[in-house]
């Protein structure tokens, strides 16, 4: 099926996903609201979780690899004294052990153990693939699932007492961190077991929840023009990249894949394969470049916006 131009243009649309629906269902809702435009989400949110779900619209889908490496911030609630096969309260629950007495100093000490680079075992019920099969499918079939620990980074973690069986969680972490696993491990450190009861994502790299549009309000927001406030244009979305400004004629050459136009640009200061630069023409994103030993090469080309 041919995709149609987006009525809000190309860019990153910030959505506040409610609890109870999958990220794929949220994409379908956005796609339907935008009349069949090309849509893809960044950073899956579990169905039971809510909060910030950035959506790449139109040409912005080509930028997803550069945007989906960002740190994220979550607010959550950990339920103690209970364990779960899914590591959250949507799974099969079983009793843990008695919950110890909690206070703020002990929780600060506990938080400190999880800050920095840590090894984390992902949930068995996850989209990680083994021999091409998502782990959650193996887990649901009753097969035993073994996952190896993976390094992740917890930039900051704050815990607070809610009541005798619940603690609040505020975490900023790297891509690939499972907050469900963090809840399990916190319960393990306390010796009573634990699982995640609630989760809300509040930040994704430079994007913030307060700038997002509620998913159920999309049709009205589109109709009254306010949805545009939740769209981040590609230049801003890739704000951390070094930028080169070119004229329209050079932009046309690059969009035809003519690499010779890149010779006019300054050589990259580093040949680090992780470095990228963006090329702009009068504010419009033209291309993303990767460094080589002799200069830049085209990695992604973006069509001019429809005006």
Question: What pLDDT shows up at residue 263?
Answer: 87
Is residue 147 pLDDT above 90, yes or no?
Answer: no
Domains defined for the chain, CATH in brackets: 11-69+206-237 (3.30.2350.10), 72-202 (3.30.2350.10), 243-301 (2.30.130)
What's the whole-number mean pLDDT along residues 282-298? Answer: 92
Give φ, ψ of 138 to 5 degrees: -65, -40
What's the whole-number mean pLDDT along residues 108-119? Answer: 96
At residue 238's C-alpha, the angle toward residues 249 and 229, to 5°, is 100
Cα–Cα distances in Å, from 13 out to 220, 226, 304?
Answer: 15, 12, 18
Measured distance CA(252)–CA(107) in Å, rounded: 58
**Active site residue: 10, 16, 46, 185, which one?**
46
Question: What pLDDT digit, counting tens, does each position of 260-289 carry?
Answer: 889 888 888 766 778 899 999 998 999 999
Measured distance CA(74)–CA(201) in Å, rounded: 4
Of 126 and 204, the structure prediction assigns the larger pLDDT to: 204
pTM for the structure as a whole? 0.91
Catalytic residue status for 46: yes
What's the whole-number mean pLDDT along residues 14-18? Answer: 98
Q: Which residues contact 212 (CB under 8 A, 6 or more apart)?
A: 14, 15, 16, 52, 53, 230
Least confident of 68-72, 139-143, 220-224: 139-143
Cα–Cα distances in Å, from 209 out to 41, 70, 204, 221, 304?
Answer: 15, 15, 8, 16, 29
User: Is 177 in a helix, a strand, or coil?
Assistant: coil
Question: What pLDDT shows up at residue 274?
Answer: 80
Measured distance CA(197)–CA(194) in Å, rounded: 9
Mean pLDDT of the chain: 91
């Amino acid at each position: 099926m041919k995709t149609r131009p987006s009525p809000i243009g190309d860019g990153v649309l910030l959505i506040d996903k409610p609890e109870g629906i999958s990220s794929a269902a949220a994409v379908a809702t956005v796609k339907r609201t935008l009349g069949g435009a090309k849509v893809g989400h960044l950073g899956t949110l579990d169905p039971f979780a809510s909060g910030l779900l950035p959506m790449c619209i139109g040409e912005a889908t080509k930028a997803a690899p550069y945007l989906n490496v960002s740190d994220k911030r979550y607010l959550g609630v950990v339920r103690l004294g209970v364990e779960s096969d899914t590591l959250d309260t949507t799974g099969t629950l079983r009793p843990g052990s008695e919950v110890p007495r909690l206070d703020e100093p002990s929780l600060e000490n506990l938080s400190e153990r999880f800050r920095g680079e840590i090894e984390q075992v992902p949930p068995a019920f996850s989209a990680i693939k083994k021999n091409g099969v998502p782990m959650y499918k193996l887990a649901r079939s009753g097969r035993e699932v073994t996952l190896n620990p993976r390094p992740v980074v917890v930039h900051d973690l704050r815990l607070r007492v809610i009541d005798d069986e619940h603690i609040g969680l505020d975490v900023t972490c790297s891509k690939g961190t499972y907050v469900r696993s963090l809840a399990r491990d916190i319960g393990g450190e306390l010796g009573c077991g634990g699982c995640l009861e609630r989760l809300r994502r509040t930040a994704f790299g430079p994007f913030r929840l307060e700038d997002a549009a509620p998913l159920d309000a999309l049709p009205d927001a589109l109709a009254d023009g306010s949805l545009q406030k939740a769209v981040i244009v590609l230049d801003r979305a890739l704000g951390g990249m070094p930028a080169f400004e070119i004229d329209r004629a050079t932009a046309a050459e690059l969009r035809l894949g003519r690499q010779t136009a890149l010779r006019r640009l300054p050589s990259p200061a580093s040949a680090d394969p992780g470095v990228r630069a963006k090329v702009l023409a009068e504010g419009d994103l033209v291309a993303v470049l990767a460094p080589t030993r002799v200069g830049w090469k085209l990695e992604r080309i973006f069509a001019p916006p429809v005006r």
